[in-house]
Amino acid sequence: MVYNPALAPLTREEIETVVSLVKSRSLIDDTGWFETITLDEPEPGPTNNDRNAYVCCYERSSNTTFQGLVSLSKNSVEEWRNVPGVQARIVPDEFTYAQEIAKADPDFQAACAKRGITDLSDLLVEAWAAGNFGVEEEEGERIAFGHCWLQNDAGDNPYGRPVANLHPVVDLRRGKLIRIDDYGVVPIPPDTKSISKQTTARQDLKELNIIQPDGPSFEVDGQEVRWQKWHVQVGFDLREGLVLHNIGYEDQGTLRPIMRRASMAEMVVPYGDPTGGNFRRNAFDTGEYGIGQATSPLTLGCDCLGHIYYFDLWSHDWNGEPVFVKNAVCMHEEDYGMLWKYTDPRRDQSSVTRSRRLVISSVATIGNYIYGFFWYFYQDGTIGTEVKATGVPLPSAIEQGRTPEYGTLVAPGIDSHIHQHVFSFRFDMAVDGTKNSLAEMNFEAVPWDDKNPHGNAILTKQTIFETEQEAQREMNLPSARYWKVINENKLNGLGQPTGYKLVPGTNALPFLHPDSPVGKRAGFMFKHLWCTPYEKNERFPAGWFPNQHAGGDGLPSWTEANRSIRNEDIVVWYTMNYHHLPRPEDWPVQPTVYAGFHWMPFGFFDENPAMDVPVSGGHAASVCCE
């Protein structure tokens, strides 16, 4: 697996080139703006070094979304087409635009006055993507559905005092308020405690320093990272955010590929309150808003601690002006406790090594929530993926004395609705090469009979899937189910196919109906595992344009072809669902919650690959007397 400089994120100059080419050829008029300018990744292959950019624009005058391909190598627009019947993502500038439209409308001002709000300067009108709920006047238009909050008195929580049942609906194309969905006045909750201005702080915390006097163990060359025996290339996509390419592990002098590409390809947050306008609370944070565009700059000592290496990145605004994101990706090493240990009681002696992991992470701020996306590389060949969620759990007001039916009372007069955070991770697999297969492992207890006289026998059943519809799977605790990606063409020293095992972690299934408006748009979330043959344009499990889409696109549509996936170039999609009923302890700011899973080598190596991990003394294993 070879480092490919053509996979490096776009530079400022390249973004400016794309904008100049599109505008100079009058491909959009003066009402047009740029949804996405990001790298168009070359097809896999060590000799493919073409440098291209994918561009998506929206033109208000014609209500048209355009897709294009710009060759940065040739300084030319290679492709340009309109995409009928779709809406581009909501971009950050439209959040501000929609709020200004709503606040300037006399009818909206009157609706606020009914609630005692005459000064709108502390009012947050957050414009959510409207989804598709069959509302006739919204069909075919570019719509934002507003939700409202008042800032707390301290000025540090824009969601501190929810304004329930007030929803301005904005036509973003025409720049006007088309209606107000007002479900009745609910008293505004009392002021919320300050987030940043502490009245008292703990005094018993001693200073904690993480030092590496000899520097870190990793090496960085451009976007390529080498650490221990790992090789990985750090990338970025304006929609997906942090992307990892060309992941491989050096084994006895040979760099063995594992994955060509790994990313979080879609994220959906459906809320479970059907009352008032709350049923419209759902967010496709990747496809409707863009994780990459929401990437936050990180600060040493706050977001990252220790000896840190940062990757800077470039984003852009809707005019195509480059936006610099300093310290967008953080990389460091962490001590991770015991790696392996063996104690010989006869000699009262232990052999032990300490574990260390490489951490590559980024953080995205999307409205009330903050998401951290963490990738871990361990010395034994394991790859870990974790999402850390914090921020303000989405609040709504409730009448005093009422008990929430679809959520939790988190503060006086504040209800926070039950919801789920559903992540779809996409892995372009390459375990020891491009031809891979997907296997499922299930375990079962043997009946208590003559063959199992002691009632302790356990059988293992492996199924290798032939087609993509066979591979649409759910977790199963009674059978301790997991999945393996294997290379049937490469055998380890024991004659077994080399492989990697996907170990599920925190998970759930959706509670909304598959035929509900959100269920139809996010059909991928009803299965924990999908597998498809590699196709360059099959990138996003809910399709390229989920904003206001009626549904059915993405994985459910692609897999209707039921293509072969055995001994093919395959992509594995894993759905992780964090089920969240907020707690009083989540207010006013939610302590970080964690959800993750692992890829572990399974027959990839002939033995424990971490037997040579040194310790501080420099020996292969520490021999200790305890």
Query: Which are the catalytic amino acids?
Result: 285, 369
The 10 Å Cβ neighbour count of residue 581 is 15
**Cα–Cα distance measured from residue 379 to residue 597, given in angstroms and rounded to the nearest whole number:** 17
Spell out the residues 6+ positions from residue 443 whose beta carbon is closer than 8 angstroms to its own.
458, 459, 460, 461, 479, 480
With DSSP H G I counted as helix, E B as strand and the rest as coil, what are the percentages for the chain, rounded to 5?
10, 45, 45
> Cis (ω within 30 of 0) for the bond into 588?
yes
Alpha helices in 522-618 (DSSP H): 555-558
**DSSP per position, 360-373:** EEEEEEETTEEEEE
Q: Which helix (H) or strand (E) holds 480?
A: none
Torsion over CA of 431, 437, 438 and 440, rounded to 10 degrees? -110
Other Cβ atoms less than 10 A from the Cβ of 456: the count is 9
Q: Which of 407, 513, 527 is nearest to 465 (CA)?
A: 527
Of residues 522, 582, 530, 508, the one with CA closest to residue 550: 522
Q: What is the DSSP string of 383-445?
A: EEEEEEEEE-PPEEE--TTPPPSSEEEEETTEEEE-EEEEEEEEEEE-TTSS-BEEEEEEEEE
Query: Can you tell me the distance from the alpha carbon of 595 to that of 535, in angstroms, rounded to the nearest whole number?
Result: 29
Question: DSSP secondary-structure letter at 90?
Answer: P
Query: Encoding tokens for residue 217?
Result: 């163990």
| Residue 533, phi then psi, degrees to nearest 5 | -70, 150
Spatial distance between the Cα atoms of 488 and 442, rounded to a whole number of angstroms: 19
Note the helical H segments in 170-243.
none
The terminus-to-terminus CA distance of the chain in angstroms comes to: 44
In one-letter notation, the amino acid at residue 412 is P
Q: Give the pairing of strands 224-227 and 230-237.
A: antiparallel
